[in-house]
Amino acid sequence: MQFDEILKKTEYTESNKPNLKDYESAYNSFDWNDDGYSRLEWLSDGGLNNAYESIDKHVAKGFGDKLSMIWIGKNGEEEKYTYSDFKEESDKFAQVMIKLGMEKGDRVFIFMDRLPELYFAAMGILKAGGIIAPLFSAFGPDPVKDRMLDAGATYLITSPDLRNKISSIIPDIKTLKNIVVINKDNRQKESLVKGDLDYYELMKKVKSSEFSIVNTSQYDFAIMHYTSGSTGKPKGVLHRHQAVVQQLLTGHWALDLRPGDMYFCTADPGWVTGTSYGMIAPWTNGVTQIIYEGGFGASAWYEIIEKYKVDVWYTAPTAIRLLMRAGEDVVKKYDLSSLRFIGSVGEPLNPEAVVWGNRNYKMPIHDNWWQTETGAIMCANFSSNKIKPGSMGKPIPGVTMGILDDEYNEIETDKSGILAVRPGWPSQMYAYWQQDEMYNSRFKKGWYITGDQASCDKEGYFWFQGRADDVINTAGHLVGPFEVESALIEHPAVAEAGVIGKPDPIAMEIVKAFVTLNPDYEQTNDLRRELIRFAREKLSAGVAPREIDFLDTMPKTRSGKIMRRLLKARELGEPEGDISTLEDD
């Protein structure tokens, strides 16, 4: 196939350093149908299943004994699983779910730390036709409740400690049929709550390890992630099985994944990077994936890269800034020469980080851009492209991106405007769960409106400028101000709350709240601390405000909307802009 040949030519190696021209020709000849979907292993009845593409395909092709996953526990444990092991475990769990009565399209929530069983369960649910909805394990009860209620969750897969953390909200989820609890190696002392099911007991009862995949089609929904907007509660973004084609191809093109590579992605499956590039993209590309249960740690991460000879490392700007802060001396203690490619996503990558990467890792850090709704990388600095530090690169083949004015017409190069994408890419979201109006509002004049502002230069490189809405990006995670405001006003002292993102040198933004108090409450430091603690327990440390200021009156429009823009301008000492709609005090 012509495209394959061009791709080969554009693969970046020591002896082959392709230029932009080679790349452009690959680009212009691309067609999803001819060059994308034809690479998939369709099911015998013409269906498509992303778990089959990720795992079973390799076993069917005779690569079952290749390593799919090396798990490193937070206490230093190590477990290794081949693709055959993975197929067997996920086949078994698929049968467990079928036996429990799970039906095609059921929303199954996974609320767990990064354990091998999380991945077995996820692939098993997908094979059995369910929709997986992974949640970040640091969440407190409120975000879990909002999401499970909204989605009408039917099953929950969790661990004893996390089950315990959210026990109070379980009776509210009336649609919930079963809770499956995984107490790996009996690490946790909590005993099984009456009515819950033990994962290992259920798995033991499965007699055959072979499972015939449920007849999912490319159009069936497979993965659901909640994402925040500036108004209302988070929305459930639904992706189809067909997203796998874009995850497979971008894994190869944008992250340079090759079969047999050792790959380390630091994202958690509670966020879209942790599923698209922490599950589907790496495994469809036949790599061995490192799953590290622990969190950030400069030495711990470098040790992993050295010990397991990691080829490709995919991480995020906040982590890179923390690594920069940890210093060059730490880097020098480790042999990182196995690294071939480093990618970054989630926030703008500072140009200094690219330069720092060049000096310390002997290669640039490749920034790429995408979001929960796009399901896969859309714009990237490819290994074969010249990198312009600070740019998020060029759209991947098959994707058309544009910069629009306020009337949704394309504008000239080098001008800042609305970042938009032509709909129809395979990993596009196809619904916000039961929010059609909101979903439709994201499409204008034949474009999908991303919610970001950007510009595009004459050479076709895109430059991120900022969010077009009030959504806060803290350490690469989007936080909807409304969710935080709702939690704060549940405290008896709080009358009104307005939440903004305050610039921060490491996390890009931190969550900052302004509150007015009910009568009989005083603006004290004790109350401030109490409110932060209250929000942390309800939400999670990452989502709760790090700073709270008291106000005597909240700036609002005459129609009663809190003017977050004004709160932010005042916080930053910037001009207040148009305040003609401001309510009189």
* Nearer to ligand AMP among residue 35 and residue 367 (C-beta): 367
Secondary structure, 3-state, 240-303 = ECCHHHHHHHHHHHCCCCCCCCEEEECCCCCCHHHHHHHHHHHHHCCCEEEEECCCCCHHHHHH
Contact residue for ligand AMP among 451, 480, 498, 555 (CB under 6 A): 451
Residue 392 Cβ vs ligand AMP, minimum distance, rounded to whole Å: 4
* Nearer to ligand AMP among residue 37 and residue 408 (C-beta): 408
Q: Which of residues 329-358 bind ligand AMP (CB under 6 A)?
A: 345-348
Residue 527 engages ligand AMP in binding (rule: CB under 6 A)? no
With residue 367 as reference, give the H or E element that holds it: strand 366-369
With residue 23 as reference, give the H or E element that holds it: helix 20-28
Under a CB-based contact definition with an 8 Å cutoff, are residues 251 and 230 in contact?
Answer: no
Distances (CA, A) of 415 to 251, 410, 454, 469: 30, 10, 8, 19
* The pairing of beta strand 447-456 with beta strand 417-421: antiparallel
* Nearer to ligand AMP among residue 117 and residue 452 (C-beta): 452
Structure-token match 């994944």, residue found: 257
Tokens of 506: 């490491």
Total site size for ligand AMP, rule CB under 6 A: 19
Residue 566 engages ligand AMP in binding (rule: CB under 6 A)? no
Residue 367 engages ligand AMP in binding (rule: CB under 6 A)? yes
Those residues with Cβ within 8 angstroms of residue 525's Cβ, 6 or more apart along the chain or in another chain: none
What distance in Å separates the CA atoms of residue 342 and residue 357, rounded to the nearest whole number? 9
Residue 90 engages ligand AMP in binding (rule: CB under 6 A)? no
Inter-helix orientation angle 525-538/481-488, to 10°: 120
Q: Which of residues 267-326 bind ligand AMP (CB under 6 A)?
A: 272
* Nearer to ligand AMP among residue 98 and residue 272 (C-beta): 272
Those residues with Cβ within 8 angstroms of residue 112's Cβ, 6 or more apart along the chain or in another chain: 118, 137, 157, 158, 159, 162, 182
Contact residue for ligand AMP among 216, 315, 450, 474 (CB under 6 A): 450
Q: What are phi and psi of 159, to 5 degrees?
A: -120, 165
Residue 346 Cβ vs ligand AMP, minimum distance, rounded to whole Å: 5
* Nearer to ligand AMP among residue 432 and residue 464 (C-beta): 464
* Nearer to ligand AMP among residue 173 and residue 380 (C-beta): 380
Residue 395 engages ligand AMP in binding (rule: CB under 6 A)? no
Contact residue for ligand AMP among 253, 369, 447, 461 (CB under 6 A): 369
Return the range that interacts with ligand AMP (CB under 6 A); candidates 27-35, 126-134, 239-247, 444-452.
Answer: 444-452
Return the range that interacts with ligand AMP (CB under 6 A); candidates 12-20, 120-128, 364-372, 485-493.
Answer: 364-372
Residue 467 engages ligand AMP in binding (rule: CB under 6 A)? yes
* Nearer to ligand AMP among residue 27 and residue 464 (C-beta): 464
* Nearer to ligand AMP among residue 203 and residue 510 (C-beta): 510
Distances (CA, A) of 299 to 290, 313, 333, 355, 425: 16, 15, 9, 21, 39
Residue 542 Cβ vs ligand AMP, minimum distance, rounded to whole Å: 12
Residue 263 engages ligand AMP in binding (rule: CB under 6 A)? no
* Nearer to ligand AMP among residue 426 and residue 451 (C-beta): 451
Residue 238 Cβ vs ligand AMP, minimum distance, rounded to whole Å: 14
Residue 33 DSSP label? I
Angle at Cα 295 formed by Cα 170 and Cα 93, nearest 5°? 50
Return the range that interacts with ligand AMP (CB under 6 A); candidates 3-11, 178-186, 446-454, 481-489.
Answer: 446-454
Residue 237 Cβ vs ligand AMP, minimum distance, rounded to whole Å: 8
Residue 247 engages ligand AMP in binding (rule: CB under 6 A)? no
Chain centre distance of CA 513: 25
**108: closest CA among 74, 157, 67, 71?**
157
Residue 392 engages ligand AMP in binding (rule: CB under 6 A)? yes
Residue 95 engages ligand AMP in binding (rule: CB under 6 A)? no
Return the range that interacts with ligand AMP (CB under 6 A); candidates 97-105, 202-210, 261-269, 448-456.
Answer: 448-456
In angstroms, what is the C-alpha Rg of the chain? 24
Residue 349 Cβ vs ligand AMP, minimum distance, rounded to whole Å: 6
* Nearer to ligand AMP among residue 346 and residue 402 (C-beta): 346
What distance in Å separates the CA atoms of residue 67 and residue 289, rounded to the nearest whole number? 8
What distance in Å separates the CA atoms of residue 158 and residue 270, rounded to the nearest whole number? 13
* Nearer to ligand AMP among residue 249 and residue 429 (C-beta): 429
Residue 432 engages ligand AMP in binding (rule: CB under 6 A)? no
Enumerate helices (H) and strands (E) in the chain, giving the number of each: 20, 27
What distance in Å separates the CA atoms of residue 51 and residue 56, rounded to the nearest whole number? 7
Residues 224-243: x where in contact with ligand AMP by CB under 6 A, - otherwise, as a string: ---x----------------
Return the range that interacts with ligand AMP (CB under 6 A); candidates 57-65, 300-308, 449-457, 572-580.
Answer: 449-457
Those residues with Cβ within 8 angstroms of residue 292's Cβ, 6 or more apart along the chain or in another chain: 72, 114, 264, 266, 300, 301, 304
Contact residues: ligand AMP, CB under 6 A: 227, 272, 345-348, 367-369, 371-372, 392, 450-452, 464, 467, 473, 478
